[in-house]
Structure formats: C-alpha cells, structure tokens
Amino acid sequence: MSTPRKDENMKAIVYQKEGGLTAVSIPRPVPEADQVLVRVVNVGFCGSDHSLVESGQLADGTILGHEVSGVVAGLGRDVTGVAPGDRVIVRPTFCGQCRDCAMGKPQFCQVHRRLIGLGDLPGAFAEYICVFPSMLIPVPDMVDDENAALAEPFAVALHGIRISGRSSGSVLVMGGGPIGLALLKLLVVMGFGPIALSEPKTEKRELASRFGAHAVFDPLAGDLNKEGFLFTGGVGFETVFECSGVPANLQAAAQLSARGGSVCVLSVIFSDAVISPATLTFKEITLCAAYGNTHEENRQCLAWMAEGRLDGRDLITHRIGLEDLPDVYRSQIHTGLAVKVMIGFGEAGACA
C-alpha cells in the first residue's frame, strides 16, 4: 500500500451554490506530517447533511460526509500507533483537559477542534480523506464496513438514552427517521420496554415493527395522546424521545409523559416551539436534550455490533455509488423517501 502521489485525482461530491451536490474530480489529499490518509469504504448520508445543503450556508466546494468507515492508506512522517490497512471510523478531535472534556462531554471541546464534513476538514463524500490520528477508532474484525459507518448514528442514539437518565421502562419514540429507528433498535438491545413509535410514513412504521416496536402510531391518522395513554394503561410513557423535528411534538411529548417521566429532545429544531410549563410542573417532567456523541459511545456501539447484538444494516434503504449521490439526493433524500442512504466504494476486508 502506498501513499498516492500528489498528481493523482479522486472522485468527490462537492456542494456548489449553483446546482447543489455535484460530482467532480479533484486532487487526492496528501497527509501532512501529523495526519493520516484514509481510503473511504462506506459513508452514510446523514439528516444533518440534508439540512446543511438546504440551508444555503455552505461555502462553494464544501465536501460533506461524516458517517464513515475506511482503511488507513498513508501516514504522515510523524504519525505513530496507526498502520496502513487498519480499519477505522473517524470522529472529531478533543483535548481531554478542558472544562467540557473534564465533564465527560468531549463533543463540546473547543480546543483545536477538528472534524470532517461538518467542520474544518473536508468530509468523506470522496475517495480519500486526511484526518488526525486521535480521530480514529479501530473497527473490530467482526464488524463489516457498512455497520461500522453506522456506528455514529447509533452513538447519537446511545448518547440520547444516557442523557435521559433512564435504563428501563416504557418509551415513546417520536419520528421514524434514521435516528428514531436507530434509537428504537438500541432500546430493544438495552432491554427497554414496552416501546412505541409514532411516525406518519407507513414504510417507516413497518420498519419500526420489524425492529421490535411493541406498537406503532400514525400521529396524523389517530389521536396520539389517547392511543399513548391506552397503550400505557393510563400512566403515560416513562421516557419520550423527540426525534421528528416537528416543533409541536415538544408539547405532545410532555403530554404523553408519565408523572416523573423524562422528555429528551434528540432532533435539532431551529424554530420556536410552545411547551406548557404547567405540564412539566404538575408531572415533574425532566426535560433534556442530547447533542452529538462521544468516542466511547462509538466504541460501545461497535462492541455491540461485534458481539452480534446490534446490526444497523437493515436501516439502509439505498446502496449507491458516489457518483449517484446528486440524483439520489433529489429523488430519494430530499423527498423523505430514504431512511438511510449508504455510499459504497468497494472492497476493504470486512468479515461479516
């Protein structure tokens, strides 16, 4: 395995103000002395990638993509502890010393923060990326490349469960997108129950049933509040996770919460939302929100995958090549038809 020469090109998908996501050929990156070159094997398309494209705030030429698995393909001369051929996933840097890191929240670290696809480093909608060694998490042999690329969305879900402070009991997941469905799978693995999911799209409710939801509700067809209380014997849900991004669901979540329950917001809602403080007070509801995930949570999800307890591959609704992304974005992602689009670049050496 050799480091690509400077004059070699690679395929990438860049954002352009005129035309949106566009397939291009650009020079392969060459790692600096303290960097690692990673050949991308799989990369998932995240809901936040869609939000960023639609925001119109991206600079021309931005390369997105952060749900990545790959193989170390080259090393800067000062890099130690990493070898060509290592299978890895990539997460942001953190310093380990600051207030945020000391609190166990490295996702807030502001010290020389480096991240791919959402921050300062080009993302993985490309054949190669350059990253720093501390960003790499090894992939266990028993975990294949697609599952490895999905460890990050599962880590988002695991982070939400930890923030909720709950370890068992009844749960309502609001929203059957990739995070809601990943969360549902994790809740099953972690022994929560009974679990219900509300989602207006039939296909996503069917997936939820297949993944182990004990009940699925269509919030547009019936009275979700009534159905939720019927399902929980009049008690309400011990934990409600808001994963739909619908502002009105905050108050709906509080109403569906049991006395002493928790409402955890996992979606990112930029608009204002109304929530009745009296609903919170009279039931002593804990309202919390989860942001990002830690390296440790990624390692935990990879470990569960290696043990055969967690498999994310049935979340994948579309397997595509990199050059298909602009078309699939318009027809399947922007229209809300896809759950998880997984881009593949070919062989790596997974055994699953």
In this complex, which beta carbon is closest to Zn ion, that of residue 101 or of residue 243? 101
* Nearer CB in complex with Zn ion: 151/215: 151
Q: What minimum distance in Å lies between the beta carbon of 328 and Zn ion?
A: 17
What does residue 260 show for φ and ψ, rounded to 5 degrees? 75, 15
Q: Which is nearer to Zn ion, 111 or 230 (CB)?
A: 111
Q: Which of 106/261 has CB closer to Zn ion?
A: 106
Instruction: Kindly write out the interface string for residues 69-108 of this chain, putting x where it contacts Zn ion by CB under 5 A and - elsewhere.
Output: -------------------------xx--x--x-------
Report d(CA 20, CA 56) in Å as an integer: 9
Q: Concatenate the DSSP letters of all residues of 106-117 into one string.
A: GGG--TT---BS
Q: How far apart are CA 343 and CA 49, in angstroms?
A: 14
Query: CB of 100: closest distance to Zn ion in angstroms?
Result: 5
Interface region with Zn ion, contact rule CB under 5 A, candidates 43-51, 137-145, 164-172, 309-317: 43-51
Binding mask of the shown chain, residues 107 to 146, with x at each position contacting Zn ion by CB under 5 A: --x-x-----------------------------------
Query: Quick one: 21 or 196, whose CB is closer to Zn ion?
Result: 21
Least Å distance, CB 97 to Zn ion, is 6
Strand pairing category for 257-265 and 171-174 = unpaired
Going from the C-alpha of 104 to that of each of 38, 291, 329, 338, the distances in angstroms are 28, 13, 36, 34
Stretch of residues binding Zn ion (CB under 5 A), selected from 45-53, 76-84, 268-276, 321-329: 45-53
Least distance to Zn ion, CB of residue 119, Å: 12
Q: Give the interface size with Zn ion as a residue count (CB under 5 A).
A: 7
Nearest Cα residue to 236 out of 260, 262, 215, 257: 257
- From start to end of the chain, where are the E strands? 9-16, 20-27, 36-44, 67-75, 87-90, 128-131, 136-138, 171-174, 195-198, 215-217, 237-242, 257-265, 286-289, 316-320, 340-344
> How would you classify the pairing of strands 20-27 and 9-16?
antiparallel
In the complex, what is the shortest distance from the CB of residue 281 to Zn ion, in angstroms, rounded to a whole number? 34
Binding residues (CB under 5 A) for Zn ion: these are 46, 94-95, 98, 101, 109, 111
